[in-house]
Chains A and B, each alone.
Chain A
Amino acid sequence: MLVAACVKYVDLRPQVDRLTGHVTDGGTSGWSAADLAAVETALRLGETWSAPVAVVSAAPESADAALREFRAVGVDRVVRVELGLEAGVELESSDVANVLSDTLRSLDASVVCCGDYSADRGSGSVPAYLAHGLGAAQALGAVEVHTEGPGSLRLVRRLDGGRREQLVVDAPCVISVEGSVAELRRASLGATLAARDAPIDVVPVPGLHGHASPVTRPWSPPARVQPAPAGDAALQRVVELTGALVERTPPRTVELSADDAAELILDQLRAWGYLESSAQESSE
């Protein structure tokens, strides 16, 4: 059995041009708190099950120094998947997962730990694609991870309203964790120094074709002229300005099938004017 952690090398403090919205590399790349929690979780599972631990990352060569820090904290093997993409070119989450799952399969990884989503506005979908690609069970967005037995995990997930959901998954499985699950242990000084020359396995994956990073353009909501609030007293004017105490449609909770819920949401969006009505759509 091998426990693996998948991490994404991201710019933790990107610089955003306020005029154009262009995002540039701030030169401060590293690992998100969730990814570090995933590595710590993998290390704990590896210790509990006496299993080796590997970290896998699709990252450029510039990530090597940061990857070696995982060797310093006790990761047995670090694999960097070299995508060979030009700067500014990205892969879809599903393509990233395909590449990673090939590597994880070759490592014979039984349990894969990921951060719940990457720090660069990631969708958090890679773990799900990974589970699909590996044909493994998935339990995503965990806030607690406990071992039940060899290869078996009990995870706690966050639900709405402060509720919690408990899931039990058995290997092979992919889990993703929030950053609060665990803090990566501190490497000893000797291990930190020794890890400087630790080997990193590089797996080249040639022939990939990504898409250019989305171009962002400046946008600001158009200003709307609001009439001055009426009322003699300041309180009246504040009430009118804020819309407090005004009659409104109260929120309601409905329990519907997925199709009916989607239809209800669409109807409401039409009612608010965000979507054109069915009659208008059909007439066009």
Chain B
Amino acid sequence: MSSVTDFDAIVVGAGPAGAAAALELARAGRSVCLLERGPFPGSKNMYGGVVYGRILDTLIPAWWEEAPVQRWVTRRSTMIMTGDQAVTVDFRNEAWGAAPYNGATAYRPDFDAWLAAKATDAGAVLVCSTTATGLLREGGRVVGVRTDRPDGDLRASVVIACDGVNSFLAKEAGMYPHTDPSNFTVGVKETIGLPREVIDERFGVRGDHGVDIEIIGCTGDVPGGGFVYTNGESLAVGLVLSLPQLAAGDTRPEELLRRMKTHPAIAPLVEGGEVLEYSAHVIPEAGYEMMPELVGDGILVAGDAAAMCLAAGIWLEGVNFAIGSGAEAGRAAARAIGRGDTSSAGLADYRRRLESTFVLADHHRLRAAPHLVMSPLAQQQLPKLACGVLEDLFTVTNPEPKPGLRRIVRRRMKREGVSTREALKQGLRALRTFG
């Protein structure tokens, strides 16, 4: 291996994972180059979610005082819907609207640029508008990256691939043994502009408080889910759709999104809004089951590139896992550089550290959740069952006496073709998954 390096480490991708990795490396006194293919960090991101910032406590104390946040989420709703019905479990917690907060909606171009600025302030070198097109190798070991700039080879002791879902670098390094389309979903999102006061009124919040609504049963025949998040003066409204089944069907994602927006439970929320943006992105839905090798000779993988996106029904998290994994990758790389051993053995404690944190612990514990959430029972039968039971429960049928709850449930289960045995089986499965 050539001993000449341009930097101690190269981090590819200035999203949350890459910025956190570069921040930790720079703080450890290592020279680090943060490559970003967009003109600025966050310019390539498509996101309509909640940023859970607890992981930032260790990286940036009192981060909430400066982070570019749209609204602090104080209401979390889970909505189960059929064609014209909806059941909502709505939880409100005013404590989440004050420091140290819980989660926030944010515009990723703002948030990512802010986090990347922390890395550059610490000494990382940010190079934008530069795409890493491949790996430089010597004897099978990764020694740098090739970029799309003239004379664009860059050498370092460690490369940290934070280049997002469908990571070309991780694939080139042979860290993804195979790619299964069923492990991916497509997220489509509209950003819908509405005046702040209208959002406050419709969603029952005030000031900088916001709402997160996760929806199941809104995607027709395509397994998936939906969401509505409140920003300051816009809504993020979108769907997450199973990639193979979307491709196999005749319905386009924008049509499915249009249908959700006309649902009686959603239409009043988005009415009169102006669509400011439509975007789509692939999501690594299967989490733990699809994770690549995280450590290679001279290379680490973090964030979406390592499929560290938790899509576990009631928990939809990504940015916190990206930051957590990126920070650990940065620390592991810094330690390995300090020891002078950036082989896979020298970098191996990256995975061990991740296993001891929420990053892999949560993914491992909830590894069956994505499949459970995408199952026909959760997607088709559960929404009809829940809405049907509540319809029977709340419909007053005088002069007929009120039916008992057990009778209603049995009748609805029969109508939806759910046997007691199957219900118990799936209930136990859910308990094992989430318990």
The answer to whether the Cβ of B113 comes within 8 Å of any Cβ in the partner chain is yes
In the complex, the answer to whether B40 meets A189 with C-beta atoms within 8 Å is no
In the complex, the answer to whether B110 meets A27 with C-beta atoms within 8 Å is yes
Rounded to whole angstroms, the CA-CA distance of A192 and B152 in the bound complex is 10
Rounded to whole angstroms, the CA-CA distance of A30 and B150 in the bound complex is 22
CB distance from A73 to the nearest CB of B (A): 10
Q: What mask results when residues 176 to 209 of chain A are scored 1 for a CB within 8 Å of chain B, else 0?
A: 0000000000111110110010000000000000
In the complex, the answer to whether A189 meets B110 with C-beta atoms within 8 Å is no
Contacts of B154 in A (CB 8 A): 189
Contacts of A19 in B (CB 8 A): 195
Q: What mask results when residues 25 to 69 of chain A are scored 1 for a CB within 8 Å of chain B, else 0?
A: 001101000000000000000000000000000000000000000
Q: Quick one: which of A1-41 are within 8 Å of B by CB?
A: 18-19, 27-28, 30
Q: What mask results when residues 195 to 222 of chain B are scored 1 for a CB within 8 Å of chain A, else 0?
A: 1000000000000000000000000000
In the complex, the answer to whether A193 meets B152 with C-beta atoms within 8 Å is no
Neighbour of B153 across the interface among A30, A186, A189, CB < 8 A: A189
Given A27-B113, A28-B40, A193-B125; A188-B149 close (CB under 8 Å): yes
Contacts of A193 in B (CB 8 A): 6, 33, 125, 127
Neighbour of A192 across the interface among B109, B130, B153, CB < 8 A: B130
Rounded to whole angstroms, the CA-CA distance of A248 and B337 in the bound complex is 80
Given A27-B110, A28-B40; A192-B149 close (CB under 8 Å): yes
Contacts of A187 in B (CB 8 A): 149-150
Q: Which size bracket describes the interface of B in this complex?
A: 10 to 19
Contacts of B127 in A (CB 8 A): 189, 192-193
The answer to whether the Cβ of B193 comes within 8 Å of any Cβ in the partner chain is yes
Neighbour of A188 across the interface among B6, B110, B113, B151, CB < 8 A: B151
The number of chain A residues with a CB under 8 A from chain B is 13
Contacts of B33 in A (CB 8 A): 193
CB distance from A164 to the nearest CB of B (A): 33
The chain A residue sitting closest to B68, CB to CB, is A27
CB distance from A43 to the nearest CB of B (A): 15
Q: Quick one: which of B290-330 are within 8 Å of A by CB?
A: none
CB distance from B37 to the nearest CB of A (A): 13
In the complex, the answer to whether A188 meets B152 with C-beta atoms within 8 Å is yes
A residues sitting closer than 8 Å to B (CB atoms) are 18-19, 27-28, 30, 186-190, 192-193, 196
B residues sitting closer than 8 Å to A (CB atoms) are 6, 33, 39-40, 109-110, 113, 125, 127, 130, 147, 149-154, 193, 195
Cross-chain pairs A/B with CB under 8 angstroms, 25 sampled: A18-B193, A18-B195, A19-B195, A27-B110, A27-B113, A28-B40, A186-B149, A186-B150, A187-B149, A187-B150, A188-B149, A188-B150, A188-B151, A188-B152, A189-B127, A189-B130, A189-B150, A189-B151, A189-B153, A189-B154, A190-B151, A192-B127, A192-B149, A193-B33, A193-B125
Closest 6 CB pairs of A and B: A188-B150, A188-B151, A189-B149, A189-B152, A190-B151, A189-B147
Taking A30-B39, A188-B150, A192-B127 as known contacts, 15 extra A-B pairs with beta carbons closer than 8 A to each other, sorted by chain A number, are A18-B193, A18-B195, A27-B113, A186-B149, A186-B150, A188-B149, A188-B152, A189-B130, A189-B147, A189-B150, A189-B152, A192-B149, A193-B33, A193-B125, A196-B125
